[in-house]
Amino acid sequence: MTPRDVAVVAFARSGHHEPADGLSEAEMLLPVLHDALDQAGLAPGEADFTCSGSSDYLAGRPFSFTLALDGVGAWPPIAESHVEMDGAWALYEAWVKILTGQAGTALVYAHGKPSSGDLRDVLTRQLDPYYLAPLWPDPACLAALQTRALLDAGLIDEAALLTDEAAPVPSADGHPSGTPHAPGARAATDGAAAVVLAAGATARRMCTRPAWIRGIDHRIESHALGLRDLTDSPSTRLAAERAGAFDAPVDTAELHTADAAQEAVLRRALRLDGTVTVNPSGGTPATDPVMAAGLIRLGEAAARIHRGASDRALAHATSGPCLQQNLVAVLEGEPAGHPGAEPEGART
């Protein structure tokens, strides 16, 4: 069986919102949805399937995703689902839905207002509730454990960290900058992102150069940090293999990381050499809106293909402490001169 061709045909993201903007999640999301839908030539509610990613804990309210639905135009009622995960996994669910043949187009969105709470406290709640959460170890501390493990293993050096804008700040006792310690987490911003997926000929009609999803896969690892090799990311490697990332070289990689050390782990797991442009979007994934940051990596990679700046790009999203869960997608644009006008249904 030939798998159905599915592409990212539109991507939109908000600017970084300041808490003082005073927007509700629906208000933050609405212009982003319209931007993505306009690019694809879809009206609100017109996509065959809608899927979103967000977190109640981030919002401080149960069922927080229901409020965002006000911006979608869910009338007449729509086929819709939601993952309590980064929007990258909402994209995965939508991709599967299109593969089944039940949908030809899908709207995927994600939103987060980390400014509502203190992320350093909130994210401790996603740790083992018996052994870890009672200690309130904040995410920056956990990331720094990973950095130390990499330094010890000689896989990164302190000089590299010094040039990293995302590196920890010097400690009060004058400890050398770049040595891993728990910094005050850099504040993630509020925002939203949206992507439109479409299959086959529909994708070609909606977008002059669709970013075809050649493969997408995600894998999880043990939650226990003391059990894992923090210098490696076997789940990323496996997801990349299953997504076909190693079948041919990529020219671009958009990586969802907390800091330079995690980028080093991923570069190794994904076998990215100096020829690959990493995070050309200028993105600073660590400050992207939580729950949308992974979807933004996928969207930025796709947008680069749309613009003709990449022919084959890898996009990565992560979730959980120290890269516990990872998603890898491989996106491709067709070579210049491709007729792009196959008969309707030929590839679907």
Partner 1 sequence: MPENLTAPLVVAFPFTRSLGPVQSAFLTGLRERTVLGVRTRDGRVLVPPVEYDPVTAEEIRDLVEVGTTGTVTTWAWNPAPRHRQPLRTPFAWALVRLDGADTALLHALDAPHARAVRTGMRVRIRWAAHREGAITDIACFEPYDGTATATAGATPHGGAFADPVTTLTTPARLDYTYAPGRAQTRYLHALAGRRILGERCPSCRRVCVPPRGACPTCGVATAEHVEVGPRGTVTTFCVVNIKAKGLDIDVPYVYAHIALDGADLALHARIGGIPYDEVRMGMRVEPVWTDDSRHPDHYRPAPEPDAAYDTYKELL
Partner 2 sequence: MSSEPVAVVGIGQTHHAAARRDVSLAGLVREAAARALEDAALDWSDIEAVVIGKAPDFFEGVMMPELYLADALGAAGKPVLRVHTAGSVGGSTALVAANLVAARVHTTVLTLAFEKQSESNAMWALSLPVPFQQPLLAGAGGFFAPHIRAYIRRTGAPEGIGTLVAHKDRRNALKNPYAHLHEHGLTLEKVRSSPMLWDPVRYSETCPSSDGACAMVLTGRAGAARAPHPPAWLHGGAMRSEPTLFAGKDFVSPRAGRDCAADVYRQAGITDPRREIDVAEMYVPFSWYEPMWLENLGFAAEGEGWKLTESGATALDGDLPVNPSGGVLSTNPIGASGMLRFAEAALQVRGRAGEHQVPGARRALGHAYGGGAQFFSMWLVGAAPPTT
| Site residues, partner 2 (CB under 8 A) | 1-4, 50, 55-57, 60-63, 65-67, 69-70, 74-85, 89, 92-93, 96-97, 99-102, 122-123, 125-130, 133, 217-224, 234-235, 238, 319-321, 324-325, 348
Least distance in Å: CB of 80 to partner 2? 4
Of the chain, the end-to-end C-alpha distance in Å amounts to 11
Two tokens, residue 100: 């089944």
With CB under 8 A as the contact rule, which of the stretches 179-187, 251-259, 276-284, 296-304 interacts with partner 1? 179-187
Per-residue three-class SS string for 145-164: HHHHHHHHCCCCCHHHHHCC
Q: Please name every residue paired with 202 in a beta bridge, in sequence order, or none if there are none.
A: none
- Out of partner 2, partner 1, none, what residue 307 binds, judged by CB under 5 to 8 A for its kind, is none
Least distance in Å: CB of 73 to partner 1? 2
| Pairwise CA distance, residues 85 & 222, whole Å | 17
Residues 120-139 that bind partner 1 (CB under 8 A): 120-122, 125, 129-138
Q: Is 174 left (phi over 0), alpha (psi -120 to 50) or beta?
A: left
Nearer Cβ to partner 2 (234/283): 234
Q: Is 335 in the site for partner 1 (CB under 8 A)?
A: no
Q: Contact at 8 Å (CB) between 289 and 112?
A: yes
| Count of residues engaged in binding partner 1, rule: CB under 8 A | 69
Pairing of strands 277-278, 252-254: parallel
341 C-beta neighbours (distance < 10 Å), count? 9
Two tokens, residue 88: 């990258």
SS3 category, 321: coil
Q: Is 117 in the site for partner 1 (CB under 8 A)?
A: yes
Residues in contact with partner 1 by the rule CB under 8 A: 19-27, 30-31, 33, 44-45, 57, 59-61, 67, 69-75, 113, 115-118, 120-122, 125, 129-138, 141-142, 144-149, 152, 171-173, 175, 179-182, 184, 222, 224-227, 230
